[in-house]
Amino acid sequence: MKLSNLHVRKNDGLTRAVASVTFEESNQPAQEIFIETETTYAEDIFASPHAFAVGCIIPALYFGERRLALEEAICPRLKEGLETVMVLMQNWTDGTFQPLTIDAPLLRTALHQEKKRHAGIFLSGGMDSLAALKRIKDNYTPTHPGYPRDALLVHGFDIGGVIERGAKYHVFERAKAAMAPVATDADLVLIPIYTNIRHLCDNRDLWLNQFFGAVLAAAVHAFSPRINLAWLASSYDIPHLHPCGSHPLLDPEYGSADLQIRHRDVGLPRMEKLKIVADWDVAFQNFRVCLANVPEKLNCGRCEKCVRTMLELEAMGLLDKTRAFEEDAVDPAWLDAFSITIRVREPFYMELIEPLRKRGRGDLAEKIEEKLK
């Protein structure tokens, strides 16, 4: 795989960092990939070779490319990190992914040393990222170098990531509107980022199991003139770790001398995260966990992610305290619409059985037990 023609261009109020991708071993078509943002932040985004190397490494492995080639120099720390990523992927895929050669010159010094930069945090609107931000608010003073100044909301994941579902910019605007008061309350600048890197390989299993953390890292590398530390919330806690696109062994390896990436809160169970968010009203009234992206609701209340979150809140007696869901109680029949035994979901449901019984919702506990069988 060869990355070339890295440049920045402006169009219709957006500033876009661009690279051309050419596959050398597989018959995939050449593509132009991008990371872009509003022109307000035009001085803070650039066509970073780090961004595109990180964003392309997993598709290159997936398609069996023998090298990842760039003419632009990259940080030796990042190169070493990507070499670690490749060995990890080889292990996770039982040898299906074979390490490739990174063919690029190496930087002799760090980039952006002359710039005054700060921390940022990825803010999807889900419980993981909101809990991470609340803990930072509680534990860091605003003058601490780890306190984020920017909240990064990325289009091209669940919204706009799947090609056949379309860009759904209206859904992204709704997500931005929901996160705006949260960012304001935390004194952060909410920065929208748009990328099509997922479209290099629109395979759901690859995305979930190996890819999505790399795309987050790629997006923030493009902002390294502005950001030197990126907080990324954990998806799973330590007892339930498994191969995943975002993982404590994976995410930090996407960093460089210019940009540190921290995978945080891996010691916190899911229910603890929900309690933290529930204690922050502006977040608790505006969270977005839904992956269905229905036309008129922030959360559809019927997809697996919505129903699981509602069950968790019901188990804690908190479901009727948020307007993020329209319903104040869960109907057991809603669980019949999906499986709860895929992608390491079972532990999330198992820990709800006894709390639901104690709250008088034995019907839900029995439904979960039935589904787990």
Where are the domains positioned within the chain? Answer: 2-103, 118-264, 299-372
Report, as an integer, the average pLDDT of 203-217: 96
Q: How confident is the model at residue 282 (pLDDT cuts 50, 70, 90)?
A: very high
Rounded average pLDDT over 257-284? 98
137 pLDDT higher than 90: yes
Q: What is the rounded CA–CA span in Å between residue 351 and residue 22?
A: 47
Reported confidence tier of residue 74, pLDDT bands at 50, 70, 90 = very high
The yes-or-no verdict on residue 294 having pLDDT over 90 is no
Out of 83-92, 300-309, 328-337, 342-351, which region has the weakest mean confidence (pLDDT)?
342-351
| Among the ranges given (28-32, 46-50, 163-167, 198-202), the one the predictor scored with the smallest mean pLDDT | 163-167
User: pTM score, two decimals?
Assistant: 0.96
Distance from C-alpha of 247 to C-alpha of 243, rounded to nearest angstrom: 7
Tokens, residue 314: 């019901």
pLDDT-derived band at 10 (thresholds 50, 70, 90) equals very high
Query: Most distant CA pair in the chain: distance in Å?
Result: 64
- Residue 244 is predicted with a pLDDT of 97
The predicted pLDDT at position 202 comes to 86
118-264 CATH fold: Rossmann fold (3.40.50)
What would the mean pLDDT of 298-318 be, rounded to a whole number?
97
Phi-psi region for residue 362, left (φ > 0), alpha (ψ -120 to 50) or beta? alpha
Long-range CB contacts (< 8 A, 24+ apart) of 93-99? 93/210, 97/61, 97/62, 97/210, 98/61, 98/64, 99/61
Of all helices (H) and strands (E), which one includes residue 132?
Answer: helix 127-139
Decide: helix, strand or coil at residue 250. Answer: coil
pLDDT of 11 above 90: no
